[in-house]
Amino acid sequence: MNHLSQQKTPILTALNKYRMDRIVPFDVPGHKQGRGNPRLTQFLGEQCLSVDVNSMKPLDNLCHPVSVIKEAEELAADAFRAANAFFIVNGTTAAVQSMILATCKRGDKIILPRNVHISAIHALILCGAQPVYVNPGVNARLGIPLGMTLEDVKAAASQNPDAKAVLVNNPTYYGICSDLKSITELAHSHNMLVLADEAHGTHFYFGEGLPPSAMSCGADMAAVSMHKTGGSLTQSSLLLTGKRMNPGCVRQTINLTQTTSGSYLLLTSLDIARSNLALDGKAMFRKVVSLAQYAREEINKIGGYYAFSTELCDGKAVYDFDTTKLSVFTRDIGLAGIEVYDILRDEYGIQIEFGDIGNILAIISPGDSEFTIERLVAALAEIKRRYAKDPSGMFDHEYISPQVEMTPQNAFYAEKKMVSIRAGAGCLCAEFVMCYPPGIPILAPGERITEEIIDYILYAKAKGCFLSGTEDITIENLKVVDV
């Protein structure tokens, strides 16, 4: 596919032609190019509403593309060096779920790290697959989950030779990467497929000196959040596949959960972002790496904070590190990451990606500048001066190894009862508890509730983490399996 011109944007071209043709719409959406909803048109703009259209022959159909969407997906596959690319408008959640649904059915085993995004465990509930969790390493100082070691994946594969697939985070939310190439070779030697959650790894395909991308490592499928670091609109994503996957079957699996009313605003943003990345990605991410490194150096000069990077690499659980990530440890100044997160937003007008109980993460992108970095660094320095306190007594780790007693599907659909959180100790959880972001479950259906986990949930709640996943929105009660 080297003959493809990455300057082309077929969906954008088709939409511009649609606008120029002055089509009179007697189809959905009912706002009729914005005329039926003037307030929305005033807010979003006439041009935006004029191309918020439904599928039609000149614009193709996302569920069964044969023209402009098909061409745009071929260009994306070429840009990302994949055998096939599928446009996703249900977020990377849908891409992750499609990977698992395309490779596993009820009773099948899948090897995966427990610090996966909730979408992966949702997929296990849908298909009935059985998780074989590989507990990630934990950095003793930072308290954060790391990557899977090759040795641990090798042990899981040897003990579960019937597993269908291995899922790998590339990278984790904090920027940590496993040895994806070696894990892929190992999995393939056991006749297992390799699925990569690259929600935070779009730039791996275009940057220089960054960890390797899933497709370059020979992975079979990769879920890529174009909107996170690739510049497309929120909720737009890609599902990439290698040569071992049947594209027709993958498309059918995607269509099980993806909308039949694909947003052309999202599709066009994928089309334009892909072209931008293919043409200018190296320069874009060279700038990002430089800004992130400058920020790390300046934050570490403040003292009390620790903006970590490649010095964590050990060839094992931290095989590589994404240097575009600005992950900062805050607990040494006596503040949980979520407390710094809240202060930055409420008092300094700075919105970062997330804060957990010991760290914050600021996403750096081509849209940043030295000015925005300086503003963040100055705010962190002032927060330390104004709010630093004795860190003793703070919860010191983010990850607790789960005790899995039942498959997520069986627990989710089991008879349940509601108990107070403290009364749940020793019970099997029947729902999710997680902090969002990052959306990694603290508890998932089928896992034993322990006193340590309860203490963590209550501590995170007290510190201001946004907890979700439970039926009780006050997070005071939990649904447990009624045995």
Residue 396, pLDDT above cutoff 80: no
Over the stretch 403-412, which tens digit does the pLDDT of each residue have? 999 999 999 9
For 408-481, which CATH class? alpha beta
The mean pLDDT value for 99-118 works out to 96
The mean pLDDT value for 220-224 works out to 98
Strand partners, 168: 196
Residue 8, pLDDT above cutoff 70: yes
Domain regions of the chain by residue span: 62-257, 282-387, 408-481
Residue 107, pLDDT above cutoff 50: yes
396 against 334, higher pLDDT: 334
Residue 418, pLDDT above cutoff 60: yes
The mean pLDDT value for 297-302 works out to 98
What average pLDDT does the structure give for the chain? 95
Over the stretch 119-145, which tens digit does the pLDDT of each residue have? 999 999 999 999 999 988 888 889 889
- In CATH terms, 282-387 corresponds, of 3.30.360.10, 3.30.9.10, 3.40.50.970, 3.90.1150.10, to 3.90.1150.10
pLDDT score of 3? 63
* pLDDT interval class at 435 (50, 70, 90): confident
The domain made up of 62-257 is a member of CATH 3.40.50.1000: no
Over the stretch 192-207, which tens digit does the pLDDT of each residue have? 999 999 999 999 999 9
The mean pLDDT value for 299-318 works out to 97
Residue 1, pLDDT above cutoff 60: no
The mean pLDDT value for 451-478 works out to 92
pLDDT score of 278? 97
* pLDDT interval class at 401 (50, 70, 90): confident
The mean pLDDT value for 237-255 works out to 98
